Structure 1
Amino acid sequence: MEWDIAYNTTQDELIISEYGRTVQVLLRKANAIEDDAERQAYVERVIKLMLQMEPGIKTQENYQERLWKHAFIIAGEPLNVTVPEGISLEEEKEEQIEALPYPELGNRMKHYGQNVQMLIKKAAELEEGPERDHATYIAAYYMKIALTSWASGQFVNEEMIRKDLYELSGKKLVLGPEVKIAVPGPNQPEQHPTGRKKKKKKKNNRPNNQNNQGGGNRSKNRRNKNRRR
């Protein structure tokens, strides 16, 4: 005995699976109906069935228009019916968003961070003079902060900072050996936070001496009263 079973894998692929295969089969038979009025009523009943299958679609704006659009998509061809007034089947053109340019930074010396490298780039664009000298020093100072917070400051070396500054600026910024780079203060935010949390101090659970003393005074007063009596 052979079983005539239609497996889903042998049938047409579901266009919108939320409505199920029955809705898809019904809509693809709609254009075969010859009478215009009968075909119109048939499609409208199928759309009501689609709403029953997906009642949550009512929460969306213009859900009727969405149902009609889905019906035409599922049918696989234009349905020969009259679309209700106020419903447009034209697809809205999506605005193409221009992709943001990804910062093109070299892979060298990542430990200084992107902000420091941008600062060096801006300083190198300045004309020679006091303003550029000041920007050069500021860049070197923040490079020292980055090295201090990176690997717990084990690799801080001012000569290395001067060399790296010269290389990163395209050999434009030179910090003279006579210029001493200041040591970052304790309140300076880290460039590479470690994420470690400070341990909470344990509360002192010692008994309150004042309360004990107060209790002792009250007991003494009671004894004195008893003696007077």
Structure 2
Amino acid sequence: MTFDYNTTRRKLILAEYGRNVQNMVAYICDLPTKEERNRHAQVVIDLMGFLNPHLRDVADFKHKLWDHLHIISDFKIDVDSPYPKPSPDAIHLRPEPLGYPQRRIRYKHYGKTIEIMIERAKAIDEPERRQQMVESIANFMKMAYVTWNKDSVADETIISDLRELSHGELNLEDNVNLTKVEVRPNAPGVRQKNVTQKTNNQNGKNNRQNKINRPKNNGKRY
């Protein structure tokens, strides 16, 4: 006795129409005359629209049904379609591969954006505006440093890194005070506390305190 499993059957091209529709389309492809194929194809188109009523809300849904008919037949059906036959290349069009950026980042915790901002600041000729830009970059660098490192950072470190990244063209005074940045609880690299464990420890502490404060009755029964 032979069993017919889905794994041994031909792969469903458009699973939303089911295997019966695919078998009917294959049957139409083997019909000898175009007149018969056209008549049967129209019946299958009506059935496909009945099986997928949501397509009626799509603009020009009949065109979509005829396109699906050609796709299900693997573009082998020969019928007089009221719409142009779709091209297999257009259906299975693959996008162009995207090249992954291969740019080296000097300090990854600052990111590539900082390097771009530094180059923009170096191109500013107006001294006052350039100095404001340098201070903004330094504050951003400090925020980025604290975000990816759980420890605080000295302003001198930021100023030194800024001087290195700009090849000595952007400088801040050593006594400048950058914006104070605090370590965020949810920042990357910061170890999170176990809230459940903390709650359990607090509950245990409260229970021990209640036992200590509980009045003693010296074994008397009331």
Q: Fold match, TM over 0.5?
A: yes
Question: 1:182 aligns to what?
Answer: 177
CA 138–101 in structure 1, closer or farther in 2 if over 3 Å, else same: farther
Question: 2:84 aligns to what?
Answer: 88
Larger gyration radius, structure 1 or structure 2: 1
Q: Does 2:158 correspond to 1:161?
A: yes
Give TM-score scaled by structure 1 length: 0.61
CA-to-partner distance for each residue in 1:57-94, whole Å, 9 max, x for gaps? 2122211111111111111243222112xx23235969
Q: Does 2:57 correspond to 1:62?
A: no
Question: 2:169 aligns to what?
Answer: 172
Structure 2: gaps of 5 or more residues: 188-222
Give TM-score scaled by structure 2 length: 0.63
Deviation of 1:166 (Å): 1.2
Q: Does 2:119 correspond to 1:121?
A: yes
- Alpha carbons 2:22, 2:72 under 8 Å: kept: yes
Aligned residues: 185
- Alpha carbons 1:23, 1:46 under 8 Å: kept: yes
Question: 2:72 aligns to what?
Answer: 74
CA-to-partner distance for each residue in 1:154-183, whole Å, 9 max, x for gaps? 32232x222101111133223354xx3134
Provide the aligned C-alpha RMSD in A.
3.9
Deviation of 1:191 (Å): 9.4
CA–CA distance in 1 between the matches of 2:112 and 2:166?
13
Structure 1: gaps of 5 or more residues: 197-229
* Mapping of residues 14-163 of structure 1, within 5 Å: 14-84=12-82, 87-91=83-87, 106-112=104-110, 116-127=114-125, 131-144=129-142, 154-158=152-156, 160-163=157-160
Determine helix, strand or coil for the equivalent of 1:181.
coil
Question: Sequence identity, in percent?
Answer: 29
CA-to-partner distance for each residue in 1:124-168, whole Å, 9 max, x for gaps? 23459555455434433544555577768732232x222101111
CA 35–4 in structure 1, closer or farther in 2 if over 3 Å, else same: same
Deviation of 1:5 (Å): 2.9
